[in-house]
């Protein structure tokens, strides 16, 4: 199980921002905080202002068989130990606010999630194809296991 440091950071989000969120133990060795997608930017801004230096390792998308109507988006952070913000998107509303202006390094991660899972990132210019061919016209390849 993750140690106290990451949990304290996630608990500070809960207490300071007051947004609806819950601690999960989904990932064996990391603390996970599930948040509403509308609060993502506010929470990332809070982390950047209060917990620097902080490192965003990547964004991981996953469509779970146990939760076929949603795509789980994990923001995997590192600050001495790993911790994760999780937000769940409904299949009929696959839009998420971009955090590119807050963390410039997120560009490729958002673009990859966009093309592999069909997520639309709002508040950024566009997400041009990063890995798939420009003329790719089939469904996002990593979403195939989701019942549509």
Partner 1 sequence: MEKITIPIGPQHPLLKEPLSLRINVSGEQVLGGDLRLGYVHRGIEKLAQTRNYVQNVHLVERICGICSHVHTTAYCHSVERLLGIEIPERAQFIRALLCELERIHSHLLWVGILAKHIGLDTIFMHTWHDREMVLDMMEELSGGRVSHAVNKIGGVRFDLDEKHGPMITKTIQKLHNEVEKLLDIITHEPTIKARTRGVAAITAEEIRQYGVVGPVARASGVDMDMRRDDPLPPYDRLDFSVITQTSGDAWARTVVRVEEVQESINLCEQILKKIPGGATETRARSRVPAGQVTTRAEAPRGELFYYLRSDGTDKPARLKIRTPTLPVLSILTKQLADIQVADIPVVLAGVDLCIACADR
What is the contact surface with partner 1 in residues (CB under 8 A)?
A: 26-30, 52-58, 60-62, 64-66, 74, 76, 78, 80-82, 84, 103-109, 128-133, 141-142, 145
3-state secondary structure of 4: helix
- Residue 106: other Cβ atoms inside 10 A: 21
Task: Name which of 90 and 144 has its Cβ closer to partner 1.
Answer: 144
The distance of Cα 97 from the centroid of its chain, to the nearest Å, equals: 10
**How far is Cα 1 from Cα 20, in angstroms, rounded to an integer?**
23
Task: Name which of 13 and 112 has its Cβ closer to partner 1.
Answer: 112
Task: Name which of 15 and 29 has its Cβ closer to partner 1.
Answer: 29
- Residue 41: other Cβ atoms inside 10 A: 16
Q: Strand pairing partners for 75?
A: 59, 85
What is the nearest approach in angstroms of partner 1 to the Cβ of residue 117? 11
Closest alpha carbon to 72 in 15, 33, 102, 98: 33
What is the nearest approach in angstroms of partner 1 to the Cβ of residue 82? 6
What is the nearest approach in angstroms of partner 1 to the Cβ of residue 15? 25
Task: Name which of 38 and 67 has its Cβ closer to partner 1.
Answer: 67
What is the nearest approach in angstroms of partner 1 to the Cβ of residue 39? 22
């Amino acid at each position: 199980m993750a140690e106290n440091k990451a949990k304290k950071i996630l608990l500070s989000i809960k207490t300071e921002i007051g947004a609806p969120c819950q601690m999960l133990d989904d990932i064996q060795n990391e603390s996970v905080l599930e948040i509403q997608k509308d609060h993502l930017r506010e929470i990332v801004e809070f982390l950047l202002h209060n917990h620097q230096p902080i490192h965003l390792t990547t964004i991981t998308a996953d469509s779970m068989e146990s939760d076929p109507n949603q795509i789980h988006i994990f923001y995997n952070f590192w600050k001495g130990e790993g911790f994760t913000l999780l937000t769940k998107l409904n299949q009929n509303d696959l839009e998420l606010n971009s955090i590119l202006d807050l963390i410039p390094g997120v560009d490729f991660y958002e673009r990859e999630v966009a093309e592999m899972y069909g997520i639309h990132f709002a508040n950024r210019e566009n997400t041009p194809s990063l890995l798939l061919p420009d003329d790719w016209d089939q469904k996002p390849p990593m979403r195939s296991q989701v019942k549509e």
